[in-house]
Amino acid sequence: MKPVKLKDIIDQMDTMSDEYNVFLDKETGKIFSLSAEEMSIAEESEEDEDFSNYPEWQQDELKEALDVIVNWENYVELPSKFDIDEYSIMEEFCDSISNSRMSDALRNAIQGRGAFRKFKDTIQRLNIEDSWYKFKEEAFRKIAVEWCEDNCIEYV
């Protein structure tokens, strides 16, 4: 397999949702996502299922999901939202701000309900959005590098 682009992994990590799992095909280097529904259908299917009773647009994804289940050793699941823990990244960002007034405002924003929304509003109000996005990208980069190394995947 040729080396995987770290940027592709980071981009996938940044757009993850709870309803999708993202995989890397170790043979081709292809990164793709499958819905929880597709994975569930594939898990309950036979190995030779053709999925002809599903809409044409869904058949390829179901076949791909079945291949992931049957040939699990050929795939690696990318870090999930739970592995990434964006809340901890926000906490680290708060600690990285040397201006105590700004740092305190950010720490207050991430307390309680609506922490992500309040955090975003606060970084906009403080005009430090660029700093946050650079910090977050670097944190995601570290997670992606560690994931690649843990899974013996070459990256560029």
Q: What is the pLDDT of residues 123-140, one digit of tens each?
A: 999 999 999 999 999 999
pLDDT band per the 50, 70, 90 thresholds, residue 1: confident
How far is 83 from 120, CA to CA, in rounded Å?
21
For 135, residues 6+ apart whose C-beta sits below 8 A from its C-beta are 89, 92, 93, 96
How far is 94 from 132, CA to CA, in rounded Å?
9
Summarised one tens digit per residue, pLDDT across range 63-100 is 999 999 999 999 999 998 888 999 999 999 999 999 99
pTM: predicted TM-score of the whole model, two decimal places:
0.87
